[in-house]
Chain A
Amino acid sequence: RKEVEQDPGPFNVPEGATVAFNCTYSNSASQSFFWYRQDCRKEPKLLMSVYSSGNEDGRFTAQLNRASQYISLLIRDSKLSDSATYLCVVIGDGSSNTGKLIFGQGTTLQVKP
């Protein structure tokens, strides 16, 4: 089982739609979680951190479910400019993974007019 898993998609949605991605992680001791955005053939950039209580930044909401070991990203009112690949990142904790960023393979979102 991969340490961090995402559905690669692509998710094809119309403008204005609400879309949600999930990311599962295998190490229950993981403490820190993040979503990065990567545009086609570009470098990844931090989108938002994921806090235990959940957090929101405009149209984006990130949530953590420790019991089921997944994090989610919800995008409301999708824009064409939201089209990108969204990478889930987990900081490993314990044994050799302490402090190590582990990237999921990414979920691709295509927002259509």
Chain B
Amino acid sequence: DGGITQSPKYLFRKEGQNVTLSCEQNLNHDAMYWYRQDPGQGLRLIYYSQIVNDFQKGDIAEGYSVSREKKESFPLTVTSAQKNPTAFYLCASSTGRLTGELFFGEGSRLTVL
């Protein structure tokens, strides 16, 4: 079955540590996205990528980094520079930038202790 796989599902880290969240898709989609969701707020865009080896900052990119070396993979690193990293992180993909249909992974819940 085609879909998006995120790992890990739950992650705990100490302050000052970097952590990398994995996102893999086998839908052959060109575009991939990372969102952050906090209670009572809408999804906020961290980074997006429309093609391999290219990515753009979203609304809240500070303290995060990404890479897009393969079409299938779009990992997100939450660095120690991110002031408030505890959140629910969602990876998504779509056939292109202007489509409204995003396919989401099940999410990664990061807690900083």
Secondary structure dominating the interface of A: strand
Q: How far is the CB of B6 from chain A (nearest CB, A)?
A: 9
Interface secondary structure of B, over-half rule: loop
Q: Is A45 an interface residue (CB 8 A)?
A: yes
Chain B residue total in the interface (Cβ 8 A): 18
Are the C-beta atoms of B105 and A34 separated by less than 8 Å? no
Q: Knowing A43-B90, A43-B107 touch, does A101 contact B102 (C-beta < 8 A)?
A: yes
Q: How far is the CA of A8 from the CA of B43 in the complex (A)?
A: 14
Q: Are the CB atoms of A44 and B43 closer together than 8 Å?
A: yes
Q: Whose C-beta in chain B lies nearest to the C-beta of A5? A: B42
B104 partner, pick from A4, A45, A102, A105, beta carbons under 8 A: A45
Given A42-B107, A43-B90, A89-B100, 4 new contacts (CB under 8 A): A33-B100, A44-B43, A44-B104, A99-B97
Chain B positions within 8 Å of A, measured between CB atoms, are: 35, 40-45, 88, 90, 97-98, 100-102, 104-107
